[in-house]
Amino acid sequence: MISNPASQPSETNRFERTKIKEAVIEIVSDSGEGAQKCGQSLGAISAKMGNGVWTVEIIPAEIQPPARSKAGASGIRVRMGSNKITNMGDHADLVVALNEQVLYGRIDQNAYKPGTYLLIENKWATHTEETAIAYKESIEHFKELGYYIFEIPMEKECLKHVSDAKKGKNMWVLGLLCNLYDRDLEIAANQVKYIFRKKDEKIIQSNLDLLFAGYEYANENFPMHFTIPSKLSEEDYVVMNGNEAISLGVMAAGIEVCSMYPITPATSATHAMAETIESAGGIIHQAEDEIAAIGFAVGASYAGKTAVTITSGPGIALKTEFIGLAIMAEIPLVIIDVQRGGPSTGLPTKVEQGDLLAVLYGAPGDAPKVVLAPSTIEECFHFVILARKLAESFRTPVFVLTDANLATGVQPFPRPKIKAEWFPEPLDQSPWKEGVKVYDWDKNTGISKRPIPGQKGGMYTLTGLAHDEDSHVAYDPAINQRAVESRSRKLAALRETLKPPTIHGDEEGDLLLVGWGSTRGAIEEAAERAREKGAKVSSIHLRFLSPMEPGLKNIFDKFKKVMTVEINYSDTVGNPLITAENRRYSQLAWYLRAQTLTDIDCLSNVYGQPMSPIQILQRLEKELNLTLID
């Protein structure tokens, strides 16, 4: 067994700790240096202590970008606090950098502010001459930018315990951070043991050594030590990212066929389930392309097996034709779109909410479908289950729109108790009721029940041609009108079951923020912070995009101004040639304008970054003419 080593820190609390409500910490490095593992562990430890946590990965565009380069910034941001944390926050409070160059990548992205602590590996100061010069210049530059710099001999310290510092530096940093932020060392040690559970004992031991050494180092060498009060919940919690939540959701929904073609940032959802799904009664089919992936899912669903296809923007584009068929022939299907920056190949690893209109309108002809957008990691899990149910009940494709921010953001949430009732009914192979039509569209709801191969007497030929209730090719023009109407009616029927969205804040005021998807945490936090400063700002967050949640017009009417907050493109009035008349709006804004005829403004950008509360607050300051940011 592994015992805590001799070097275990002796006095852990010999100084006064500053009590803080939350902290935003980053670890950045070249890729392959384990920064992400370090941050994930910090997040997990904090979550186990009962803190609110949100972590988000910092991913370079290449697999092996050049070392020590701006483009190479790889790492993680961890935001943790006493309360629930729902987004990545604004600027980092403290950053650990394994080299100084990668910091430029983050500075470009406006991740830091004057006063941010930068803890930088100092071995570069004595590296090659070229490197040393670059290092020193950067340190000067950072100081000018107002950051507080700690140059730290990380490698040197690690080499006291291991022969190859590259492998263990991340655990040393973890120890250091655990001390600075008062993390429970036992929980931390257990976390390290868990990470290396498949390795041999020597490796576990040396990583524990490093953890403790880092912890000890922080004891000795830092002027500032914090604590973030936490309260352990009674409930069981799990902590994972949105793609992992989707992956568990797929299995918990009882989906049998997950048909996909790899594409960033969607694929990791498949990776997360790949080991388990076969024991959970399903199989992943990696198809030859996205068209085949959805075609295969459609075939499986036609044959009565519940199916999902998971993709991102370019994949959605390719699936467009099959989406039209699924709608036309009323095939239940869950389609998950983990949105990334567009158009085209765009920004494959970055976030955008740019597919809303494409999903709503992409297929030629009238193609009504259900569109859901989870707004938290937890919802990523539950919405897949919901989507499967809706798909089968309404005999239609259901979209689940997430994005790269949800995909990689990590957050604890109450552990779901998997229920048998989330699974679909067993394959119905009873004889088809005589006389019932294949599309026996209910006059009021448009809903009908489908025969499944194997059901005696249910034989029919599904077709993408316009068809009548018997699925026979329609020659009479009136039939097409009736069929299209019936498919559209299903949306109205589903809408009947929805409640108006909850208003966060007062029911009336100066400004209503409207969001969807991953921006929820940032919007609600910004609005709350603004309200604390006296702003009359409320927010709503839409989770059904099609059909729309009811009552929007009524809600909008009680605010002087309505504005969506979205991570996608809109023209900015005032830019050359752009006027209120010709402005191209953000996607939800556009949609809500048509729907409610309200003059809805939008705050949006395509920086490929998650929306931060401060970006929203900056805009609120302008809109409301108030000072909202300290």
User: Between residue 195 and residue 224, which ones bind a second copy under the rule CB under 8 A?
Assistant: none
Q: How far is CA 572 from CA 96, 342, 405, 462, 601, in A?
A: 37, 19, 24, 47, 10
568 binds, among ligand SF4, ligand TPP, a second copy, none (CB under 5 to 8 A by kind): a second copy
What whole-number distance in Å separates Cα of residue 273 and Cα of residue 308? 13
Binding flag, residue 64, ligand SF4 (CB under 6 A) = yes
Among residues 263, 407, 540, 589, the one that binds ligand TPP under rule CB under 6 A = 263
Tell me if 38 sits within 8 A of 118, measured CB to CB. Answer: no
Which residues make beta-bridge pairs with 428? Answer: none
Tell me if 588 sits within 8 A of 371, measured CB to CB. Answer: no
- Give the residue with the Cβ less far from ligand SF4, 64 or 579: 64
Q: How far is the CB of 338 from ligand TPP (least distance, A)?
A: 12
- For other proteins, the binding residues in 310-369 under the rule CB under 8 A are 314, 321-322, 325, 344-345
Binding flag, residue 262, a second copy (CB under 8 A) = no
Strand bridging mode 94-97 / 22-29: parallel
- For other proteins, the binding residues in 565-604 under the rule CB under 8 A are none
Binding flag, residue 572, ligand SF4 (CB under 6 A) = no
What whole-number distance in Å separates Cα of residue 30 and Cα of residue 65? 8
CB proximity list for 389: less than 8 A, separation 6 or greater: 253
- Give the residue with the Cβ less far from ligand SF4, 63 or 594: 63
Written as one string, the DSSP assignment of 104-142 is HHHHHTT---TT-EEEEE-GGGGS-HHHHHHHHHHHHHH
- Give the residue with the Cβ less far from ligand SF4, 267 or 448: 267
Among residues 19, 271, 433, 553, the one that binds other proteins under rule CB under 8 A = 271
CA 591 to centroid of chain Cα atoms: 23
Tell me if 39 sits within 8 A of 75, measured CB to CB. Answer: yes
7 binds, among ligand SF4, a second copy, ligand TPP, none (CB under 5 to 8 A by kind): none
Binding flag, residue 407, ligand TPP (CB under 6 A) = no
Tell me if 86 sits within 8 A of 376, measured CB to CB. Answer: yes
Q: How far is the CB of 340 from other proteins (least distance, A)?
A: 12
Q: How far is the CB of 332 from ligand TPP (least distance, A)?
A: 23
- Give the residue with the Cβ less far from a second copy, 374 or 610: 610
Q: How far is the CB of 387 from a second copy (least distance, A)?
A: 19
63 binds, among ligand SF4, a second copy, ligand TPP, none (CB under 5 to 8 A by kind): ligand SF4
Taking the alpha carbons at both ends of the chain, their separation in whole angstroms is 51
Q: How far is CA 565 from CA 148, 382, 516, in A?
A: 33, 24, 8
- Give the residue with the Cβ less far from ligand SF4, 64 or 83: 64
Binding flag, residue 318, ligand TPP (CB under 6 A) = yes
Tell me if 77 sits within 8 A of 39, measured CB to CB. Answer: yes
Residues that bind ligand SF4 (CB under 6 A): 63-64
Enumerate binding residues for ligand TPP (CB under 6 A).
Answer: 261-263, 290, 314-315, 318, 345
